[in-house]
Structure 1
Amino acid sequence: MGRRENPLDALAGPVAELALELRRLRHEAGSPPYSEMARHCAYSAATLSRAAAGKQLPTLAVLLAYVEVCGGRAVEWEEHWRRVSEALTARHGDHEPPYKGLARFEYADRDLYFGRERLADDLLALVREQRVVTLFGPSGSGKSSLLRAGLVPRLRHAEGVPRPAGIRILTPGERPLATHRPLLSPVDTRAPEQASADTYLIVDQFEELFTLCHDLIERRAFVEALLAARRPDSRLRVVLGIRADFYARCLEHPGLAAAIRDASLPMTRMNPAELREAIVKPAAARRLVVERALTARLAHDVTDDGFALPLLSHALLETWRRRRGRTLTLDSYEQAGGMRGAIAQSAEGVYTRLDPSQADTARRIMLRMITPGEGDVTDTRRSTTRTELEATGKSGEANKVLETLARARLITLDATTATLAHESLISAWPRLRGWVEQDREKLRFQRWLTEAADAWEAVGRDPGVRISPVRLAQFDMFASLTDRGELTVLEADFLAAGMATHRRTIRSRRTVRATVPLLVAMTALAAAIAWKQQRLLQTHRLP
């Protein structure tokens, strides 16, 4: 921009400094009247004049229009605008966003969790009345947040009733009973005041029992262990959070169907008042203001999108990052891409900043976090281990990509596991949706392969493992899995063992096929010799 030092800059503040630079740019362009400038852009003379007044930070769109009319370099001015915006953020101390983006609300976020008070109270009342409760809702309705930031605080801080002996939260995973068996028993407490208190077990994403666990015996045993809480003498209470499109699968189990009949709560849509609270109150808790026009637009967009709370939260997070001072504006929301565009814009921005090798690693990582749906069941996210993800490529690069995706809140990450921040990402990010559609059949095979290899590992890597010819044919179709390094070492070893067994079987069959004619011929020859010998004996016996 050819910036010149000015002794007043340090005292003026970042907004006034930016305004001074804008006025200088206009002067260098020949001081065109604002009315003339307005004719060459989409903004009024008054809006352009206010941008250079220095009283508040103009939106990025207005600033770039001003700069373009005056012949400035847009890239440099955009960087300058972002520095000013960041300086305002640091000055106000607003380092922690009031919105969670795609991530769920946790217990620690309860002071920012608004709009679901009525539903949380209803759930608490039902949990106190019944020992096994089911919570059904579509993807994006906020089940996980309601359980963690709505129900758990009420259980811990309820007045006039015994406090829980313990509260446990789990997701089923691939081996629900083997993994969580210790959590399926009540807490053994010796405290006299808790002698009769119950332990609360919250099973979130219960649908993983169908999408990840394919051992029917273990699946049935896990359900029976949960339903044991229905016994009058049990000190365990169970709450199941279930995606609505798995309702029919749950009814296949008679005991679970009975529990659903007796104690089930649906996730309803927020009414306009609740939605406004979810938008405005988290910002107020951080001493921020949401522009009325933005609140109205968000309410309209959520209504059009149905259950879209993660999309709403992410759009608000991106709007917060682009806010003007302490105000979240409609202009900032539109710059972020709106309800659905915000996710695509954020994800695409992260992806395009990766180098080609990292981008390919990111593709492999994210596809391993998805289980492709079939029939009426939509695609679902899949929790996976960091070990599995690191084994598909260079460990150092995989870790770096995982951390990058986690910082962008596209995935959630802990010491051992990783998962998509929300299933909304699958449908809202066109690139990811395209990957899934392009490789849907290959992904189904890969999910089977991962599970089968894990089971093979669990029983000691039997070298004689058999893989059906159909599966081997599928692997031949998807040979690119090996070519592109998309198999873990365990998966490759499992396939190698299965193919070796298959080759031995083929060789054995060929040997048998080659031996049978020889055996037939030898048997015929032996029979002929025996017949001739019998004839000779008969001849010698004749007088």
Structure 2
Amino acid sequence: MGRAEKPLDPDAGPLPRFAHGLRELRRIAGSPTYRAMAARAGYSAPTLSGAATGERLPSLPVTLAYVEVCGGPREEWERRWHALADALSARPVAADDDEPAPYRGLARYGTEDGALFFGRDQLVADLVALVREHRFVAVVGASGSGKSSLLRAGLVRELRGLGERDGRPAALRICTPGPTPLRTHAALLEPVPGDADTVLVVDQFEEVFTLCRDAAERAEFIGRLLPARAPADARPADGPRLRVVIAVRADFYGRCTDHHGLVDALNAATLLVGPLSPEQVREAVVKPAAAGRLVVERALTARIVADVAREPGALPLMSHALLELWRRRRSRTLTLEAYEAIGGVQGAVAHTAEEVFAGFTARRTALARGLLLRLITPGEGTPDTRRPAARAELAGSEEAEQVLEALVRARLLTVDGTGVDLTHEALITAWPRLRDWVEGDRERMRLQRRLTRSAGEWEELGRDPGALYRGARLLAARDTFLTADGPAPDLTPLEREFLTVSVRTGRFVQPALVRLRRFVRSRWWLVFRLAVLCAVVLWTVWFLNRDHP
């Protein structure tokens, strides 16, 4: 009969219960040895034995082969297998599982994640060599190509590992421009005193175009970066130096040509980041799992390679799918069944997001909609981009705060200090619900961005009445954001007050403007103009014919 199997408790969970049922079939069939079963089933004895351990769900073909050689009902066990597969695929690992995930989902790989960053070895080496050779380097690639991870888990980690004789920097600094790049990061633009260079990494450089509205500050910030390109003999030999690395989205590369000095810098040293090759995708899937002592089914690896390889912008979607597979792992195995259950690479983000929204009431869904749309800047001739916002701008009530926390727990949003951001721009296109919201509210979003800026400027100017909305802007804002019940609920307290005061002030001005407009359109306007013309003619005749001394 062979070696005795470990006892199973069918009440310990669905997997042990399934395996216990298989063992019962074998017992009823007379307890044949697994070697004898293998001769009839076409699968090896260890494979059939492993199907009844209760540690993981066997594949459907193996299950059916086991059932058939034991004389069990095939259709019934096929239904049981699919039901269990669906349950396991939809069930994340318990929240108290403190085992670290080997994948980062939509979040970028940080400087501490270098041990899990695979598939970009050659690109990292090329970037390090470029940075050591040039003082100003640009990294250009599509959204989702992994530029941020390349900088942090690749470049920064490698530079920190250099010896002093190999050119280790005196300091490594990382920033994103934000709406006020010069005022926010002025201190980072000063190199650390000493012989070694200071390396400044400016990630998401496109924010100088999408978030910074002050053209003068934008130009000055760029101007402060460019001196890093000065040749060594342009500064004292013992003076501190700055090396700059910027990462910019490919669709904003053309905007860089607006600055002449930036064009010269980009022409001198630019690294293009493309999609992963099939072999690089395989590394990015399998090697982090191996580091976490996990197994990835070969069929799953092949499927992900087919879905992702050479696809621009697919890396965050792949990483998110892998994280969800890790949360739904069977014992220590990532499975193809779970991958298909979450919709694959393209559907994983939407699957996660919709799981969150399934628990929202209609009111919380509306709050989430307003919150998410505030974190997006609608493109004007360019793709939509994410827009970081202050937490105070998003969570104006206890319920809004709870909605925000739910989206953060689902890794759809990232909180950094007091700021909130979409975890990745891939959300905008990969999540149908959000994509439809953006398309339906595009013009309203543009008006709201302007209202947010105008309200902030009004506050900065001490609530100067001259900064209030008037004319066409007031009418557009009033028609869009004022309802019978007052200002729209998704406005912040400052925006509501700004709009209310603008409308109240506008009421005193509007009647006079309306009377003037009506007068201009009436027949009395023609009479008035004729009277003025006659007066001018009479005065001219009098002036020409008066007596001169």
* TM-score category (smaller protein): 0.7 to 0.9
Q: Matched residues in 1 for 2:482 and 2:436: separation? A: 18
- Indicate conservation of the 8 Å contact 2:119/2:281, yes or no: yes
- Indicate conservation of the 8 Å contact 2:275/2:313, yes or no: yes
Q: Matched residues in 1 for 2:469 and 2:74: separation? A: 66
Q: 1:228 to 1:456 in 2, by over 3 A?
A: farther
Q: Matched residues in 2 for 1:450 and 1:462: separation? A: 16
Corresponding position: 1:436 with 2:438: yes
1:220-231 map, 5 Å = 220-231=219-230
Which residue does the alignment assign to 1:330?
Answer: 336
Which residue does the alignment assign to 2:138?
Answer: 134
Which residue does the alignment assign to 2:379?
Answer: 373
SS in 1 for 2:196: coil
Which residue does the alignment assign to 2:466?
Answer: 464
- The offset of 1:151, in angstroms, is 0.7
Which residue does the alignment assign to 1:399?
Answer: 401
Corresponding position: 1:169 with 2:174: yes
Q: Matched residues in 2 for 1:265 and 1:468: separation? A: 48
Q: Matched residues in 1 for 2:515 and 2:20: separation? A: 88
- The offset of 1:498, in angstroms, is 3.0
Which residue does the alignment assign to 1:259?
Answer: 265
Work out the number of aligned pairs and report it: 490
Which residue does the alignment assign to 1:41?
Answer: none
Which residue does the alignment assign to 2:32?
Answer: none
Corresponding position: 1:117 with 2:131: no
Q: 1:477 to 1:74 in 2, by over 3 A?
A: farther
Q: Matched residues in 2 for 1:261 and 1:294: separation? A: 41
SS in 2 for 1:464: helix
Matched letter for residue 69 of structure 1: E
Alignment partner for residue 255 of structure 2, among 242, 246, 249? 249
Q: 1:238 to 1:412 in 2, by over 3 A?
A: same
Which residue does the alignment assign to 1:108?
Answer: 112
- Indicate conservation of the 8 Å contact 1:134/1:242, yes or no: yes
Q: 1:499 to 1:226 in 2, by over 3 A?
A: farther
Corresponding position: 1:390 with 2:389: no
Alignment partner for residue 318 of structure 2, among 312, 316, 329? 312
- The offset of 1:485, in angstroms, is 0.3
> How much is the aligned-residue C-alpha RMSD, in angstroms?
3.9
Matched letter for residue 168 of structure 1: R
Q: 1:428 to 1:515 in 2, by over 3 A?
A: closer
- The offset of 1:499, in angstroms, is 3.0
Q: Matched residues in 2 for 1:514 and 1:399: separation? A: 49
Alignment partner for residue 186 of structure 2, among 181, 190, 208? 181
- The offset of 1:53, in angstroms, is 2.5
Matched letter for residue 269 of structure 1: P
**Structure 1 stretches of 5 or more lacking a match?**
1-6, 32-43, 189-194, 528-543
Matched letter for residue 52 of structure 2: A
Q: Matched residues in 2 for 1:262 and 1:309: separation? A: 28
Q: Matched residues in 2 for 1:418 and 1:243: separation? A: 21
Q: Matched residues in 1 for 2:414 and 2:133: separation? A: 34
Q: 1:11 to 1:440 in 2, by over 3 A?
A: closer
- The offset of 1:374, in angstroms, is 1.9
Q: 1:60 to 1:187 in 2, by over 3 A?
A: farther
SS in 1 for 2:427: helix
Which residue does the alignment assign to 1:475?
Answer: 477
Q: Matched residues in 1 for 2:438 and 2:421: separation? A: 16
- Indicate conservation of the 8 Å contact 1:26/1:70, yes or no: no
Q: 1:333 to 1:514 in 2, by over 3 A?
A: closer
Q: What CA deviation, in whole Å up to 9, does each residue of 1:45-102 have, x standing for no partner?
A: 9999889723542169899x99993799999968985899848x98xx7721111111
Q: What CA deviation, in whole Å up to 9, does each residue of 1:497-519 have, x standing for no partner?
A: 333443343355578899999xx
Alignment partner for residue 413 of structure 1, among 399, 412, 415? 415
**Structure 2 stretches of 5 or more lacking a match?**
1-5, 30-40, 68-72, 536-549
Q: Matched residues in 1 for 2:425 and 2:400: separation? A: 22
Q: What CA deviation, in whole Å up to 9, does each residue of 1:428-450 have, x standing for no partner?
A: 11000010011011011111111
331-340 vs 492-501, which moves further: 492-501
1:226-305 map, 5 Å = 226-231=225-230, 232-233=234-235, 235-303=241-309, 305=311
- The offset of 1:22, in angstroms, is 3.9
- The offset of 1:199, in angstroms, is 1.4
Matched letter for residue 216 of structure 1: A
Q: What CA deviation, in whole Å up to 9, does each residue of 1:96-140 have, x standing for no partner?
A: 111111100001111100111111111111112222211110011
State, as a whole percentage, how many aligned pairs show the same letter: 47
Which residue does the alignment assign to 1:539?
Answer: none
- Indicate conservation of the 8 Å contact 2:142/2:312, yes or no: no
1:200-219 map, 5 Å = 200-219=199-218
Q: 1:45 to 1:165 in 2, by over 3 A?
A: same
SS in 2 for 1:478: helix
Q: 1:85 to 1:22 in 2, by over 3 A?
A: farther
- The offset of 1:203, in angstroms, is 1.0
- The offset of 1:473, in angstroms, is 2.8
- Indicate conservation of the 8 Å contact 1:25/1:70, yes or no: no
TM-score (norm 1): 0.80
Corresponding position: 1:69 with 2:76: yes
